[in-house]
Chain A
Amino acid sequence: MRVQGRGLVDRNSPVTFRFDGIAYEGFAGDTLASALLANDVRLMGRSFKYHRPRGVLTAGSEEPNALVTVGAGVGQEPNMRATVQEIYPGLEAQSQNRWPSLGFDLLSVNDLAAPFLGAGFYYKTFMWPRAFWEKLYEPVIRRAAGLGALSGKPDGDRYERAWAFCDLLVIGAGPAGLMAALTAARAGLDVILADEDARMGGRLLAESHEVDGMPGPDWVDSVLNELQAMDNVRLMSRTTVTGAYDQGTYGALERVGHHLPRAEKRPLETFWRIVARRSILAAGALERPVAFTNNDRPGIMTAGAVRTYLNRYGVSPGKAVTVFGNNDDAHRTARDLIAAGVHVSAVIDARADAAVDVKAPIYKGAVVSGSSGRKQLESITVRSGGREEKIATDCLAMSGGWNPTVHLTCHMNGRPTWREDIQSFVPTPGAIPGMEVAGACNGTMTTAACLREGAEVAARVAADLGKKAKAADLPKAEDDPYRLTALWHVPGKGRAWLDFQNDVTVKDVKQAATENFRSVEHMKRYTTQGMATDQGKNSNVAALAILADATGRGIPETGTTTFRPPYAPVAIAAMGSGATGKGFAPERKTTSHAATVERKAPLIEAGLWYRPSYFPQAGETNWRQSCDREVGYVRNAVGICDVSTLGKIDIQGPDAARLLDFVYTNTFSTLKLGRVRYGLMLREDGHVMDDGTTARLGEHHYVMTTTTAAAGQVMKHLDFVTQALHPEWDVHLISVTEQWAQFAVAGPKSRELLNGLLDTSLSDDDWPFMACGEVSVAGVTGRLFRISFSGEHAYELAVPARFGDSLFRLLVARAEAMGGGAYGMEALNVLRVEKGFITHSEIHGRTTAYDIGMERMISAKKDCIGKTMAARPGLVDPERERLVGLRPAGAAKQITAGAHLFNPGDAPVRVNDQGYVTSVAFSPTLGMNIALGFLKRGPERYGETVKLVDHARGVETLCEVVNPVFFDPEGGRVRG
């Protein structure tokens, strides 16, 4: 119910929303949880395993119970915490894990079967028959136990990623965080203040005490106003710092759109990577419940949460509230409720010597030992001395003390330190390099001390970073000592919950200890304690206290489980934002892309590049027809192909030749000016890295081409050789792949075509095979290389990239006028297979120069990368699988790449394997299927018949082993 005169919500701004289809009204500033409580809705969910009715336990992001699904269809968001979800007009939320309805859930029958469903139940029960697990047990269990579901459709929401940099990241904007940010900002540091709440202020928004003589929220506003006015401060609300990583990198999730109706352009969430020279963790503390029988009924919540609902939202979660705790802090809840006019039925303090200053019935040295009420709390049982007494109440505010939020300090393998006086863990100093800790998360439990510590730590950080902070004027605030006596568990019959979200009880933890799962990590996994989406934020410490007791050890010896990022759930969509669809990888497009698309050429990905597969023409019904036609262009007339995707590396300097001699197996220092040479490159382990041609343009100037696939790898390799192995060489290199558009002009009519285009015509004397040099194309200076990847008389013409589009169109038009035209990757591949030219299908990383028949290209006169290791006996063993050509023996049958080769009489099994097929093509020139592959002792076996078996595609056929050069083995055409 709403309480008049309390709360920070805007009572002039009513907001209508729906929960499970029913319309309710709240106010701007309400969370879904506070608005539902204001409407006396206590039942918000069903528990994971037993389907117990559950209400809200907390008022923050640690909430284990009140998880709802927001929205429907594509934008449906499961497992949203009602305590975090702000209401907005039109919000639609649904309860989860219940059927048919939240009020009547058939699977609550699990609760009656609870004696059989304890820790280890699955492991003991669903063991046989073995086949039942996948088909029966798992599907049934998954349906019965679960949280909300995704829509199953592609995510329609938008997410973003962003980077931020600062001197100081302050995590948490409660009293300590605000003071820290203010002190550091005044000292001139570049500060980011991040807080997961929609409104900054932390506990100051939830408490009734004054700071500096004004209400807490007013003091918060005054600090925020000052921070907001400073250029060196960024305030990030609704931003949860989720992880601490190496070298001052922090992950943070900003909820940008969850509190507003969906809008097209607005992201739902932004995942930040914040790089900070220093950070101050001021994340506060989380209150822990007390484990007593049936402590999970709707209406039972933490004492601090009750104060938050009252003081921040103007809501009392009950009409007759009982307070139960083991510390003085809990008394505040009772005092605040009474001051607001809410009836307090009793204050129960477990300590016999407690000083309780509250005007309500007081039970000292007493505990709550049970509760009743099915879908809502109706009464509790108080045990005092030997007597038990029932008290009618609809809300129990309980406090077992506060746990400092140490999580981020453990993300780099730090272990927290036990502090006896507060019965909890605090961060171990230095656990995260560059991170300081201040306030309640450091075990500092009064407002005045938090303010002081925030200022002091910030002043120290500022000094470390070379700035001087003025001695802060510390605001006056409450400084009441935080006294408590440990109370983890009230003994009694029945189940007492620890982990509300995963339904783990005290009995389960004891059971684990009994069955010798005594290590805290084993207990966690056996019981699933702390493994739900809330990661056991309000239950882990109590669970290990129970384990410590059950195993007869102290809590510090028992230790904690490992806290890992993220601190709060992060949607994978947020981390991966921008990486779906087109964002998955960059797209590289050639200068002829537009012309290619205009010709309706299907595109094929080659690394990041998009290249034409073939250029279809009217009347052609499949790709083979287009490909065969294009092969014919090159064999009979002239074809044009964009080859700009090949890597081009410009190499200059007096030691350029020396570099090439070192990275290539063959010699380039002897290459004449104006000539091109084919080169083979090895890795240092002796296997082939790449191949290509390199042209000598000047005495100290070469341009190397690499394959499309290995362009980046070769650049990196050359950089390594020139920087790490031979920095003394005077040579410089740079990638010019994108600066030059380069086109193959291939076929018997290639020279004729070029002569009609170039400003000076070509002759065989000036432009023999493997010549290169500058040419002028319609007034543009370009480079011409007489090289061929098709075995035909051919050239590659390069111009600055800005002329690529027009040159491609010009070349294709001229080729078409001469009975040729553009050709794509399919035809290019057929042409090279016909000639036995290799690509990365053959030099796939496990083949040597010997395997591809190029061992004689390794010069004996000089050292080169890979030479020594290539000479290892195993790499030149005649038994190795070596390059051969294959063609069908007898009737033409299908040949497939990836098929394996066997001797005809052998069974096609691994031990009989003789080799494999790497490339196949239908050769229109030869009128048959042809292939390249690797075969044991291959070159010695020309003329033999082998059996080709493709187990995956069910192909089996006989092939003849032949020389891999199928077409024009003498090479007359290329010189013609």
Chain B
Amino acid sequence: MRITCPICGERDSREFSYRGADVALHRPDPEAGEAAWDDYVHLRDNPAGETRDMWYHEGGCGAWIVVTRNTVTHEVIGSELAAEVAR
């Protein structure tokens, strides 16, 4: 599998480590309540199809990126810097 790092270009997936769904970007307010925090920390969808998840270019530039890919076809649709998505 190959992932494009917006900074370094297209690289083999073994340069990256995986964190999971981009839900991680949306940290709730400390007062958001139990359900919101449960969602954020524990609950994840398991989509057949398009998904957006977080990868860390650990063997490269150290960028966190959001990768859009398809879990059925394995197509990697796009990648963006997490810093830009989060802004």
Spell out A's residues near B (CB within 8 Å): 245-249, 273, 275, 412, 433, 684-685, 712, 715-716, 719-720, 723-728, 863, 867-869
Contacts and interface: CB of A to CB of B under 8 A. Distances in A.
Given A246-B74, A727-B82, A727-B83, 17 more contacts: A245-B1, A246-B76, A249-B2, A684-B27, A684-B40, A712-B58, A719-B62, A720-B19, A723-B63, A723-B82, A724-B64, A724-B82, A727-B86, A728-B87, A867-B30, A868-B28, A868-B30
B30 A724 contact: no
Nearest to B11: A275
A867 B29 CA distance: 11
B25 interface: yes
A433 B19 CA distance: 26
A412 B74 contact: yes
Contacts of B42: 685
Given A249-B1, A725-B27, A720 B56 contact: yes
B50 interface: no
Interface residues of B, number: 31
Interface in B34-87: 37, 40-42, 54, 56, 58, 62-64, 73-76, 81-87
A732 to B, nearest CB: 11
Interface residue SS majority, chain B: mixed
B87 A727 contact: yes
A716 B62 CA distance: 8
A249 B3 CA distance: 12
Contacts of B64: 719-720, 723-724
- Residue of B12, B24, B64, B84 with most chain A CB atoms under a 10 A cut-off: B64
A216 to B, nearest CB: 38
A719 B56 contact: yes
A724 B24 contact: yes
Contacts of A684: 27, 40-41
B32 to A, nearest CB: 8
Contacts of B56: 716, 719-720
B8 to A, nearest CB: 15
Contacts of B41: 684-685, 869
A432 B46 CA distance: 24
A273 B17 CA distance: 20
A884 B41 CA distance: 30
Nearest to A734: B62
B87 A716 contact: no
Nearest to B37: A868
A869 B32 CA distance: 12
Contacts of A723: 63-64, 81-83, 86
A428 to B, nearest CB: 14
A716 B1 contact: no
A433 B27 CA distance: 37
Contacts of A720: 19, 24, 54, 56, 64, 82
A260 to B, nearest CB: 31
B74 to A, nearest CB: 5
For the complex of A and B, list the 7 residue pairs with the smallest distance between their C-beta atoms, beginning with the closest. A247-B2, A727-B83, A724-B82, A246-B1, A723-B83, A723-B64, A246-B74
B75 A869 contact: no
B71 to A, nearest CB: 12
A753 B27 CA distance: 49
A273 to B, nearest CB: 8
A247 B76 contact: yes
Nearest to A720: B64
B48 to A, nearest CB: 13
Contacts of B28: 868
Nearest to B14: A273
Contacts of B17: 716
A859 to B, nearest CB: 12
A720 B27 CA distance: 12
Contact of A716 (B12, B58, B74): B58
B4 to A, nearest CB: 9
Contacts of A433: 73, 75
Nearest to A727: B83
